Amino acid sequence: MTGTHFRPLPALALLLAIGALLGLTGNLVKLAGNAGWQPMAYLLWSLIGGGLLLLLFAWLRGERPGLSPPLQRYYLGSGLLSIALPNGLLFSSISHVGAGFASMCLAFPPLITYLLALALRMEGLSRIRLLGICVGLLGSLLLALGKLNSGDSPMLWVLAALCVPVFLALGNVYRSRYWPSGASPLSLAPGMLLGGAALLVPMGLFGIEFSPRLDSVTAIILLIAQMLLFAAIYALFFVLQKLAGAVFLSQIGSVAAIVGAAIAIGLLGERGSLTMLLAALCIVGGVLLVAWRGAQQVQG
């Protein structure tokens, strides 16, 4: 679902804000792991806290989430594709591949989202955008090969991190295609977060550890920070999606990739590489081609 009146400046401001906040996530996950949090436990309690904060905010604003069967299906569908699967893979893989590499993977959803939107005829064919996709996919190939050749990360976790943008892109398209008629952005965000959290709970039957780590001030502060981060990201997420549509929204990943990788390398001491730099240039170039063509269509 794309907003009836596309406003470029508010959309760009939201894009940059959400992307910067999202870029912090991978680094918080790494710090949480250092503080003793198990990845899936940190994700679950962050989602529950963030979802409840959004629910309270929506309630105070009079935009209470509906509970009809179609809305419940939407919460679970968007929670699965946009929350449980991508964040589960992201949070679990960071300790194996690093926050910088995981953040770089967030740059690919614009390319995959456009391919899916094209296949579903939600977007028109554009040679410039296809060129952008090819350039961006070259970046993903360079990123993956560079990480595998470094020998410091198991292939399974590299592939897991590279699957994150696929699910994010599927979620972008799902939310746009099945946006409930008349629903406000703020009324949908709490249901998606809490739906994603609910879908994680059965994993406890398979031995996944969900016990909260509340025995240190640092662990508690990191949990609260991630709760607030989730609440802010997904409150703004739905606003931007309604305003600008799935393909434009997906470009938050390129901002998140740059911010996340810069923090990981600059503040957390992770190592960068020439391959990562070349991959970043390809990714940014590909996303700009996809975005530029979209801006041309809006202006036309």
Half-sphere exposure of 110 (CA within 13 A, CB side): 32
Residues 61-112 pLDDT 10s: 888 889 999 999 999 999 999 999 999 999 999 888 887 878 778 777 777 7
Residue 52: predicted pLDDT = 97
The reported pLDDT for the residue numbered 118 is: 79
Break the chain into its structural domains and give their ranges. Answer: 8-299
Rounded mean pLDDT of 226-247? 84
Please report the pLDDT score of residue 107 as a whole number.
Answer: 73
Q: What percent of the chain has pLDDT over 70?
A: 89
3 state SS of 128 = helix
CA-to-CA dists, residue 44 to 56, 175, 267, angstroms? 18, 21, 26
What is the model's pLDDT at position 198?
96
pLDDT computed for residue 7 by the predictor: 63
pLDDT score at 2: 47
**Judging by beta carbons within 10 Å of its beta carbon (0-12, 13-18, 19+), is residue 163 exposed, middle or buried?**
middle
pLDDT at 137 over 80: no
Comparison of pLDDT for 299 and 127, the residue scoring more? 127
pLDDT band at 115 (very low <50, low <70, confident <90, very high): confident
**Burial readout 34-62 (b: 16 or more C-beta within 10 A, e: otherwise):** ebebbbbbbbbbbbbbbbbbbbeebeeee
Instruction: Return mean pLDDT, the chain.
Output: 83
The pLDDT, as a whole number, for residue 264 is 80
How confident is residue 234, by pLDDT bands cut at 50, 70 and 90?
confident
pLDDT band at 298 (very low <50, low <70, confident <90, very high): very low
pLDDT at 44: 96
* pLDDT attached to residue 223: 96
Question: With pLDDT > 90 as the criterion, what percentage of the chain qualifies?
Answer: 31
Dihedral pair phi/psi, residue 267, rounded to 5°: -110, -35
Q: Of the candidates 261, 276, 279, which has an alpha carbon nearest to the alpha carbon of residue 27?
A: 261
CB atoms within 10 A of CB 296: 11
pLDDT by residue (tens digit) across 168-182? 889 988 988 898 988
pLDDT, residue 258, reads 77
